[in-house]
Homo-oligomer: A and B are copies of this chain.
């Protein structure tokens, strides 16, 4: 089989489309943001991406129907006369080997270039290792002009963060994108790194909405964020009261909260 199989579901013509990537990662921030974005726009299915660089796995839904793990591209056509259309890339996994990451990113970028994409936004979490009350959005970009533009929208460009660079899809879509002549920005929402973080996803979506001039209803993600806040505080309280025998450290809240995507 081909290393990466892209199955188009529809044929569309898009106006100056922007690619927005959000796959599973730190605090699941990027995936939460991308999934919320395509739900709310709403975006329509455009193509499914299968690959032998994903795990050999199917998911089973509540009705018992199987679905091979994948990434998927959805599109949204702007209703504004001079608006830019969007492509949103989401999915179950990033490639599970370094080579797989390169191959999948390269194939998706090539496909998107064919649709006219010249600009990429990648969404990710930035682990701070402690509870973050009001997450900032850190940035990285492909050119000084993008850096300046994003600063105006509230993105923080830090001399020191991220120190070791970006590992995984959010970095690679920008790095390989440059080889395709694409410009791009990575938006990283601060997060503890201990559990899934809709608060951080909301923060990067607010920047994205401002930058791309989108209308988005934040009610549902705010509710989810409030719920996580409530659980996290309860866990913290329990730990505070717990004395020596109580569970503590990052593993405790992680186990209690699980994945609340």
Is B98 a contact partner of A5 (Cβ separation < 8 A)? no
Residues of B within 8 A of A63 (CB): 144, 147, 157
Residues of B within 8 A of A60 (CB): 140, 162, 165-166
Is B106 a contact partner of A174 (Cβ separation < 8 A)? no
Please tell me how many copies of the chain the complex holds. 4
What is the interface of chain A, defined by CB distance below 8 A to chain B?
1, 5, 7, 50-60, 62-69, 95-96, 98-99, 101-103, 105-106, 139-144, 147, 157-159, 162, 165-169, 171-172, 174-176, 178-179, 184, 186
| A contact face: mostly helix, strand, loop, or mixed | mixed
Which of B66, B102, B167, B179 is the one whose CB lies under 8 Å from A171? B66
List 6 A–B pairs whose Cβ atoms lie within 8 Å, in order of A's numbering: A1-B103, A53-B99, A58-B175, A62-B159, A66-B171, A66-B175
Knowing A53-B99, A140-B64, A142-B65, say if A58 contacts B159 (CB, 8 Å). no
Knowing A68-B175, A157-B64, say if A165 contacts B58 (CB, 8 Å). yes
Complex CA distance for A60 and B124, rounded to whole angstroms: 15
Knowing A5-B179, A65-B142, say if A172 contacts B103 (CB, 8 Å). no
Residues of B within 8 A of A169 (CB): 56
Complex CA distance for A5 and B59, rounded to whole angstroms: 29
Closest residue to A55 on the B side, CB-wise? Answer: B98
Residues of B within 8 A of A55 (CB): 98, 167
Knowing A65-B144, A68-B176, A144-B65, say if A56 contacts B186 (CB, 8 Å). no
Closest residue to A158 on the B side, CB-wise? Answer: B64
A-B CB proximity, top 8 nearest: A68-B175, A52-B102, A56-B101, A64-B157, A58-B171, A1-B106, A59-B165, A58-B175
Q: How far is the CB of A11 from chain B (nearest CB, A)?
A: 19
Complex CA distance for A98 and B68, rounded to whole angstroms: 13
Residues of B within 8 A of A102 (CB): 1, 51-52, 56
Which of B52, B103, B176 is the one whose CB lies under 8 Å from A103? B52
Apart from A58-B165, A58-B171, what are 16 other A-B pairs with CB-CB below 8 Å? A5-B179, A52-B99, A53-B98, A55-B98, A56-B101, A56-B167, A57-B167, A57-B172, A58-B166, A60-B165, A64-B147, A66-B141, A66-B166, A66-B175, A66-B186, A68-B179
